[in-house]
Amino acid sequence: MLVYSIDECFIDLTDYVKLYGKTERELTKTLIDAVFDETGIRAAAGIGTNMFLAKVALDITAKHSPDFTGYLDRDEFRKTIWRHRPITDVWNVGQGIADRLK
């Protein structure tokens, strides 16, 4: 687990998926439900094949998902995020980088 901020962390679920015999989405739902049951707060999650994709999935796609979970791999990123605007919505892309990408 890598704590990113007071309300975000990265968790590598690879070994836990195997241990519990669940998909990434099923295990993530278990965690989201546990947070809600314990605190009454609805959590959201991003699943990705690396930390960048997981963070972007959380920030952009999870909020539009009925189960509060977003998923991105390389192909899905190209399909759904590649043309997303404003590009500054994407994690770690500030205005300076956005201007250079124009």
Handedness of CA 72, 76, 82, 84 (dihedral sign): negative
Peptide bond into 66 cis (omega under 30): no
- Three-state DSSP at 84 gives coil
Known catalytic membership, residue 8: yes
Q: Catalytic residue among 8, 26, 38, 76, which?
A: 8
What residues are annotated to the active site? Answer: 8
